[in-house]
Amino acid sequence: MTKRNWVLVFSTLTISLLFLTGCSGNNQETSPPTVEVVAQTAAPLEIEQETVTSIPEDEPEPTAAAEESNPQFAVFNPYDALTSDEIVQIKADGFSGSDEEIAQAILKWQAENMFYIGDPNQQPDISYPMRWNYMLPGFFPVSEMVQERRLENGKIYGLCWDYAAIFNAIANFYELEARVTANKVYISDTNPSIDKSTANGMGPEEFEALQPRLIEHDLNLSYDQISRAARETWSHYRAEVKIGDKWLPFDGVPDVAEGPEYQVATWDEGYDPNLLYPEVELGSKEIDIAALADLLSAAPVSGYEGITDDAGNMNRAASMDDLMMGKGLVPYYQGMDSVVAFLQIEGNTEDLSESFDVLAEYEEDTGKKFFVIADWIVYAAEEMTAEEYIPLYNALTGSDMTEEEFVTYIQ
């Protein structure tokens, strides 16, 4: 097979498998033995949700929406005030008195209705709202957190950011002057065992969990875009309320040592549209095939319909963008025009004819389908061994090509 004389025009996938959750005040001894098994069995709140579009005063306006083909999420404060119905549903209604008394009542409510988890090994999704709202503010707002993040005993689970965000959402309902602050130190700066090169980014498991929300918001963001924007968050967050002329901390996380300096953490401080919605220069990068194969191990993602290809395979990737996001496996096409359109090849397609010659012979002799698109993505070098090619081809297609078939028809 001849060497490819073109360059795929999609961004490199980079995998960062370390999930840094911050919140150094974790007290493992308080964890009941049943917490390791989390079931979100609490019924959703049967209330009409408000659409939050306002931007708080003194906060920067979000970047204007992009073209319809690549919409941008309209960011907003994830801990905007809860509605009166939501306050009643979570049993945080009826607080009264001075601002300090109401703040203390919220703190007491958290102690009775929330459970702190700071260990991702104990709860894999523990850092998701913090990380997702950091790069896409409002993407997982408190109004949804208090519904979805429930233990079997009904308590709302979370880490320090959840406590601070939920406190602020309730405080905003009671019209307290509240804010979120952070000890702006990274865990990777204080723990020498952590490789800072892996502190940012997003692993395939988290990206898979993110997919239903991306689909719900009709966001066409690739794994590479999300991984670029997913950054390490601060070591600890807490809520503060202005009482008189002083800002006082109200930290619901158990056993947090006093002393570190806290600074205001604005709700949109991690939002960078230049990381999420950049203009990609053609031919600027190549695909990391191994990372893509790993990502596709979970395909198709929940809620993705995709297309039914020429072989009748359902939920296949409808476009190269969808493939790069890991939504669906490579589709099978019999016609060259379909393959050219999917790969977005411009110019000379002479080498592609040879791939269709391989397709004809391979399918006639083996009775299996040959995925030309996968072959073109994987076979990017002049020569590849069976050990290099077969696992990648099969991962992208869901096929079972053998070494004998590779040597006979492909190599």
7 to 282, 331, 380: CA distances (angstroms): 8, 20, 9
* Percent of the chain clearing pLDDT 90 (strictly above): 52
CA distance 376 to 127: 38
For residues 351 and 83, the model is more confident at: 83
pLDDT-derived band at 273 (thresholds 50, 70, 90) equals: confident
- Residues 62 and 13: their CA atoms lie apart, in Å, by 27
CA torsion 48-110-179-265 (nearest 10°) is -100
Residue 266 has pLDDT above 90, yes or no: yes
Please name the residue that has the structure tokens 């308590």. Answer: 155
Neighbours of 340 (CB within 10 A): 15
Mean pLDDT, the chain, whole residue set: 81
CA distances to 316, 321, 393 from 9, in Å: 20, 10, 19
pLDDT exceeds 60 at position 62: no
Lowest mean pLDDT among 243-252, 337-346, 397-406: 337-346
* pLDDT the model gives residue 23: 67
Structure confidence at residue 353 (pLDDT): 81
Alpha-carbon torsion, ordered 146, 147, 150, 152, to 10 deg: 140
Per-residue confidence (pLDDT) for residue 7, from 0 to 100: 37
| For the ranges 58-67, 153-162, 196-205, 343-352, the one whose mean pLDDT is highest | 153-162
Query: Do 20 and 230 contact (CB within 8 A), yes or no?
Result: no
- Minimum mean pLDDT range among 4-18, 78-92, 325-339, 396-410: 4-18
Which residue is it, tokens 């309730």? 170
Residue 381: predicted pLDDT: 55
**What is the rounded average pLDDT of the residues 123-146?**
96
CA-closest candidate to residue 373, choices 315, 329, 307: 329
pLDDT value, residue 380: 62
Asked whether 131 and 199 are in contact (CB, 8 A), the reply is no
Tell me which of 84 and 300 has the higher pLDDT: 84
Q: What is the value of pTM for the model shown?
A: 0.60
